[in-house]
Amino acid sequence: TETDFFPGIPKITYAPDAGAGDVLYFRHYNAEEVLLGKKMKDWLRFSVCYWHSFCGTGADPFGLQTLHRTWNEGNNLMECAKKRLHAAFEFFNKLGVDYYTFHDRDLSPEGSTLEETNRNLDEMTDLALQLQNNTGVKVLWVTCNLFSHSRYMNGAATNPDSHVLAYAGAQVKKGLDVAKKLGAENFVFWGGREGFNSIHNTDVGAELKHMAEFFRMAINYKEKIGLKCQFLIEPKPKEPCKHQYDYDAMSVIGFLKHFGLDGHFKLNIEPNHTTLAGHSYEHDIVMASVFGMLGSVDSNTGSPDLGWDTDQFPMDIRNTTMVMKTVIEQGGLQPGGLNFDAKVRRESTDLEDLFIAHIGAMDAFARGLRNAVRIREEGVITSMVKKRYMSFSHGIGQRVEDGSASLEELEDFVKKNGEPNVTSGKQEKYETVFNHYL
């Protein structure tokens, strides 16, 4: 049948006592288990990405296809597209994940004209809607691929040719229609070509202005059609461009505020992008959250010794604990989620590897969640931090906090109270306590 793309692989279940080699069970992720008043699946809101897991071929800049999937074999592109979608829904079900994400061009092939392309997309989204209704699987987010086609090689919204910007706009218009049709909970903008390869040929000021106008048009159309989803921007510092304008969380926040767009967007943070920007794994998660802008997470990882986007499945428990600690502190990610923007290595050619990778990563995040919950419940770290900042709850500290102090007053305080005490930051103690929970 159309639902037998993964023969021999059963529905994945929770088996906390599974042995080291039993990699087709969850040992930590127990979807319905309630922690801190919420089911694990509602804290984690896992999502599978369509492009890597169903369209990926294993090709890399130095090598040809290694992954041969039955759903990519067929007589024509639309037939393959449909098989692929059936395969994906079989996968979602067996894995037990409620969400998926896709680019418009993942789901459906580009035609020879925009009109034909859009008809293809209509046909595929009809099928997607039917499969969603049959299974209860939902769209975490939709995004438009504005970077693969050669027309976008010099940028989409920031292209020096307004004709290309117009094409990108037409594509986003359709993408927003699709988001509405499929009930997507978010819509992502990733500006893979919005930046430059050479500063010499680039008018940075003009390009930023055009990008802002492009976003404004998208906001207007979203409101016009009554689309309720959250808009998200996904920062990345470089690759494919030498420099991308959405470098990191703070760059995007600065841009949005400069153009008065910050009320309309949150951020979709991908830690592999964060580390490429020179930050620690959790940095942009924390910064976005602090600025009230953390919308969703592309849960993957790179390797700190590699300078490009490897999109690996997240497997480091320290990192997943840090992410989930921040997620808990802000009360969850909804309507965002944890989207596995990750691909099996091109050498992982067995079909089961696709399951093993997702299971391993879901368990890594489930462990992170369980650790973060224990940290929260025991409160040892929280109370150490609270005590550390205590001086801002009274006296001169409180006056700083509420904005009523002045430099003159601070000087008076020092003249009366002299030199402050030197207080240990106790980093190693915090690290040791944190390790206790891993």
Which active-site residues does the annotation give?
103
How far apart are the C-alpha atoms of 204 and 41, rounded to whole Å? 43
Name the residue nearer to a second copy (CB basis): 129 or 413: 413
Q: Are 185 and 137 in contact (CB under 8 A)?
A: no
Which range touches a second copy (CB under 8 A), out of 9-17, 29-37, 91-99, 173-181?
173-181
Who's near 375: CB < 8 A, 6+ residues apart? 321, 325, 381, 382, 434, 437
- Name the residue among 131, 105, 95, 159 with its Cα closest to residue 313: 95
How far apart are the C-alpha atoms of 115 and 98, rounded to whole Å? 32
Which range touches a second copy (CB under 8 A), out of 38-46, 84-92, 264-272, 373-381?
373-381
Name the residue nearer to a second copy (CB basis): 32 or 305: 305
Helix/strand/coil for 78: helix
* Residue the block writes with tokens 């027309």: 151
One of 72, 160, 181, 376 touching a second copy (CB under 8 A): 160
- Under rule CB under 8 A, residue 308 binds a second copy: yes
- Under rule CB under 8 A, residue 254 binds a second copy: yes
Within residues 66-95, the interface with a second copy by CB under 8 A covers 66
One of 88, 97, 188, 322 touching a second copy (CB under 8 A): 322
Q: Are 113 and 152 in contact (CB under 8 A)?
A: no
Within residues 386-415, the interface with a second copy by CB under 8 A covers 388-389, 391-392, 395-397, 400-401, 403, 405-408, 410-411, 413-415
Q: Name residue 41's amino acid.
A: K
Within residues 42-61, the interface with a second copy by CB under 8 A covers 58, 60-61
Beta strands at 46-49 and 99-103: parallel, antiparallel or unpaired:
parallel
Q: Are 10 and 2 in contact (CB under 8 A)?
A: no
How far apart are the C-alpha atoms of 393 and 134, rounded to whole Å? 54
One of 261, 297, 357, 373 touching a second copy (CB under 8 A): 357
203-242 footprint of a second copy as x/- string (CB under 8 A) = xxxx-xxx--xx-xxx-xx---------------xxxx-x
Which range touches a second copy (CB under 8 A), out of 75-83, 226-234, 264-272, 303-311?
303-311
- Name the residue among 323, 258, 259 with its Cα closest to residue 288: 323
Q: How far is the CB of 21 from a second copy (least distance, A)?
A: 5
Lookup: tokens for 55: 């369209």
- Under rule CB under 8 A, residue 338 binds a second copy: no
Q: How far is the CB of 155 from a second copy (least distance, A)?
A: 10
Name the residue nearer to a second copy (CB basis): 181 or 238: 238
Q: How far is the CB of 374 from a second copy (least distance, A)?
A: 9
- Under rule CB under 8 A, residue 62 binds a second copy: yes
**What sections of 96-149 are H helices per DSSP?**
104-107, 114-135
How far apart are the C-alpha atoms of 234 and 150, rounded to whole Å? 22
Helix/strand/coil for 35: strand
One of 169, 191, 195, 336 touching a second copy (CB under 8 A): 169
Number of residues that bind a second copy (CB under 8 A): 161
Q: Are 24 and 12 in contact (CB under 8 A)?
A: yes
Name the residue nearer to a second copy (CB basis): 132 or 375: 375
